[in-house]
Chain A
């Protein structure tokens, strides 16, 4: 028995070495390819130093691991400044709105970018992408998924954000997340439960799980009182109920959060949280969702799909290899599910004094080669480039048995995934208020009056 375990462990180690070795060789070859096919002078800003700020995140790790290649290619020194999630967003807001030139390139999502562009804090990127002296002919901006390109394009008019293809490009997708249901296939199979597709089904599954598995939490979702808890499970499911955060009524912008559809959604969602989520819901952020999956304490989670992938990597979590994927639950009777997207993107600080060098770094970090190398290293698992998803190296890796149905589910969800929010300045204020109201309803406040009060509060700030 002992001998058998040793042999299995040795095989595992040898297998891991092969995968990692292969990933490193692929990455090196791919990065070398950037310089080999160059149509621009990558050394034109040689000797410049720039600062790149980002969240502490595996997506950042994917780029940091390849930074020496960039520095060798361009002679530009990049200093990464990585911060914990909560601290990062506050620091980002202060740095950019005070026009500090300290950060040249930043990591950002679409929604926070809406609040930063009307004040001129971000540099529009169209001019850089179209400049043949600055952008390599192989860069292929059109390779990014159309939904992502569309989401990162808008114009600013009278201090407000106006979406549309005639707008400017404000950030380049670097990695993204679509919202999915992740579940422990072993537990659901053991208890003879099917993967829930609607909220009532989810409630029934949770009730059954509580009886069959008293030691585990049926479902974890984010519940903190900020927009980050709305943009994952809540907005994705709400969309399938026909809920819109904002609507245009008689030519005027209004909120749709007190609509009958919204009341129906919140009634079901609150019931789901009460039946499924842990009592720490109000304090649960993405850290707790990941912890629930990795510790094996949670059976299901509705959040960004890569959390399931990373926890399926052998040896990474108590339930490695057992986390499978499905589209998020939808409204009963809805034709299809909805899934919101969050795009980790690179943007340029408008106050940067080294914009040329900053653009070369952004271009390199979002290139086909770097994205693919990050993907096959198991870090940048949701590449925003269609070419990565057509690449054999990545598909071979991502379709390994331990990742279950990650790839087919990604493809199914990605076909439907879209930005579920209305682009506008003031996004944070309205969505933070929604998150607070959600907590109040989960804690017993009546749904309809709470939504009416929320809508009035949002209308007051329009």
Chain B
């Protein structure tokens, strides 16, 4: 108690007492720093406020077009948990996001390795392969919708030339999810390729040379040396893509709108439909909060994996 009083007393003294010249300078500097970061803090607080406003909306029965709003606690969440369609939304979201990230990582590694090689055609195709990444996702969706039309789409025509098909693509619940995964893979594999290619470029030739002198063949060099060294790059790309894939809206809404039935109804699409088509904004906000929690958990797990791999590589 006495020690605490002494501390408080000295603290007060230092607060009241005249500040020495060097301290004064430091305080001014600290104040200036605070002023400089203040806008960023305010913007961050603004974002958080909007986010928590969204969370609050999920605890109400807010319906667009109806004037009265009631606080309903977790009723929206409980109502969602009781429906089979919600668990279908969660399952479709998880399958979609995990599938695209794994497939894109695999293709990304293969393409990056190809581009890092001295093969001439790979050098030519290097800029071309990045094209899907710069296309607006809604344009990608419309383009693939046309190509995947079971009657007049070019994909079925091309397959028919080799005696395959016709396939229903996005028009059948059996193939719709796989079809939109294919579209996502086509669009975003270049992102993985770009990041992993940068990682491969960072591996100096002397490491590969040392492996070669020790008798390692090219596959062993790739598996034992290159892959572990680029693993942090793969995982950091996976973090970004996982977050994006959990939130993917444009490609899915632009092609299937969540159908046929509920076969491609991920949480983001269902949240949008619930809020803006069905006007049930409170329920839609609850779906988005659940999606956010899944994104958060997925991102945290992947970041932990990235930190672990980075430590091991270091």
Q: Contacts A226-B277, A432-B273: A440 and B66 contacting too (C-beta < 8 A)?
A: no
> Please, what's the 1-or-0 string for A78-98, where 1 marks a CB less than 8 Å from any CB in chain B?
000000000000100110110
The residue in chain B whose Cβ has the minimal distance to the Cβ of A122 is B65
B64 nearest in chain A by CB position? A97
Give A217 to B277 CA distance when docked, in angstroms: 31
Binding stretch for chain B, among A277-285, A302-310, A328-336: A277-285
For residue A429, which residue of chain B has the nearest CB? B278
Give the complex CA separation of A280 and B64 in angstroms: 32
Q: Confirm or deny: B67 has a beta carbon within 8 angstroms of a beta carbon on chain A.
A: yes
> Does B279 sit within 8 A of A, measured CB to CB?
yes
Q: Give the chain A neighbours of B151 by CB distance below 8 A.
A: 217, 278-280, 297
Per-residue CB contact flags for chain B residues 246-257 toward chain A (1 = under 8 Å, else 0) read: 000000000111
Q: Which of A30-38, A113-121, A193-201, A263-271 contacts B (4 or more CB under 8 A)?
A: A113-121
Give chain A residues whose Cβ lies under 8 Å from the Cβ of B189: none
Q: Are B67 and A226 in contact (CB under 8 A)?
A: no
Cα separation A121 to B66 with both chains bound (whole Å): 9
How far is it, in angstroms, between the C-alpha of A428 and the C-alpha of B64 when the chains are bound? Answer: 12
Binds A, one of B165-173, B237-245, B287-295: B165-173
Interface residue A364 (Cβ < 8 Å from any Cβ of B):
no
Contact A118 B277 (CB under 8 A): no
Q: Which of A278, A282, A429, A443 is B279 in contact with, Cβ under 8 Å?
A: A429
Q: Is the CB of A115 within 8 A of B65?
A: yes
Task: Say how far B307's CB is from chain A's closest CB, in angstroms.
Answer: 41
With the chains together, A118 CA to B69 CA distance in Å? 13
Asked if A445 is at the interface of the complex by the 8 Å CB criterion, the answer is: yes
Known contacts A116-B65, A280-B171, A283-B170; is-contact A90 B276 (Cβ 8 Å): yes
- CB–CB A432/B262 < 8 A: no
**Is B64 in contact with A429, judged by CB distance below 8 angstroms?**
no
Binary CB contact string for chain B from 264 to 289 against chain A (1 if under 8 A, 0 otherwise):
00000000010011111000000000
- Given A279-B150, A281-B171, the answer on whether A225 and B65 have CB atoms closer than 8 Å is no
Give complex CA distance A396, B67 in Å: 49
Complex CA distance for A392 and B277, rounded to whole angstroms: 42
- Residue from A119, A428, A443 within 8 A of B260 (CB atoms): A443
Interface size of A in residues (CB-CB distance below 8 Å): 38
Does B261 sit within 8 A of A, measured CB to CB?
A: yes
Q: When A93-B279, A429-B278 are in contact, do A279 and B172 touch as well, CB less than 8 Å?
A: yes
Min Cβ gap A336→B in Å is: 33
Whether, in the assembled complex, B4 has its beta carbon less than 8 Å from a beta carbon of chain A, the answer is: no
Q: Hey, which chain B residues are within 8 Å of A90, CB to CB?
A: 276-277
A224 touches B (CB below 8 Å): yes
User: CB-CB < 8 A to B280: which residues of A?
Assistant: 429, 461
Asked whether any CB of chain B lies closer than 8 Å to the CB of A425, the reply is: yes
Cross-chain pair count, CB within 8 angstroms:
100
| CB neighbors of B among A411-462 (8 A) | 425-426, 428-429, 432, 436, 439-440, 442-443, 445, 457, 460-461
Known contacts: A97-B64, A118-B65, A283-B171. The answer to whether A432 contacts B260 by CB under 8 A is no
Q: Is there contact, CB below 8 Å, between A121 and B173? A: no
Q: Are A439 and B260 in contact (CB under 8 A)?
A: yes
Complex interface: chain B residues within 8 A of A118 (CB): 65-67
A9 proximal to B (CB < 8 A): no
Q: Is the CB of B170 within 8 A of A443?
A: no
* Shortest Cβ distance from B79 into A: residue: A460
Within 8 A of A (CB), among B42-69: 64-68
For the complex formed, measure the closest distance between the CB of B229 and the CB atoms of chain A, giving whole angstroms: 45
Q: Which among A93, A278, A282, A461 is the interface contact of B276 at CB below 8 angstroms?
A: A93
Q: How far is the CA of A436 from the CA of B273 in the complex (A)?
A: 12
Q: In whole angstroms, what is the CA distance A279 to B258 when docked?
A: 17
Say whether, besides A93-B276, A224-B257, A283 and B66 are in contact (CB < 8 Å). no
- Are B65 and A280 in contact (CB-based, < 8 A)? no
Asked whether A58 is an interface residue with its Cβ less than 8 Å from the other chain, the reply is: no
Interface-centre pick from B150, B152, B172, B259 (highest chain A CB count, 10 A): B259
* B171 pairs with A279, CB closer than 8 A: yes
Chain B residues with Cβ below 8 Å from A225 are 257-261
**Those of A273-297 within 8 Å (CB) of chain B:** 278-283, 297
Docked complex Cα distance between A20 and B235 (Å): 65
- Write out the residue numbers on chain B whose beta carbons fall within 8 Å of the beta carbon of A226: 257, 277
| A residues 328-348 touching B (CB-CB < 8 Å) | none
Which single residue of chain A is at the shortest CB-CB distance from B156?
Answer: A279
B232 vs chain A, min Cβ distance (A):
41
A442–B79 Cα distance when bound, in Å, is 28
A94 near B261 with CB under 8 A, answer no
- Contact call B259/A439, Cβ cutoff below 8 A: yes
B65:A121 contact, CB within 8 angstroms: yes
Q: How far is the CA of A94 from the CA of B275 in the complex (A)?
A: 10
Q: Knowing A93-B279, A428-B278, A432-B277, say if A279 contacts B168 (CB, 8 Å).
A: yes
6 extra A-B contacts, CB within 8 A, seeds A119-B67, A282-B256, A440-B261? A118-B65, A226-B277, A279-B151, A282-B261, A429-B280, A440-B260
Taking Cβ atoms with an 8 Å cutoff, the residues of A that contact B are 90, 93-94, 96-97, 115-121, 159, 217, 224-226, 278-283, 297, 425-426, 428-429, 432, 436, 439-440, 442-443, 445, 457, 460-461
Residues of B within 8 A of A (CB): 64-68, 79, 83, 145, 149-152, 166, 168, 170-173, 255-262, 273, 276-280
Give 20 CB contacts A-B under 8 Å.
A90-B277, A93-B64, A93-B279, A118-B67, A119-B64, A159-B66, A159-B67, A159-B68, A225-B258, A225-B260, A225-B261, A279-B150, A280-B149, A282-B171, A282-B256, A282-B259, A283-B255, A297-B152, A432-B278, A439-B260
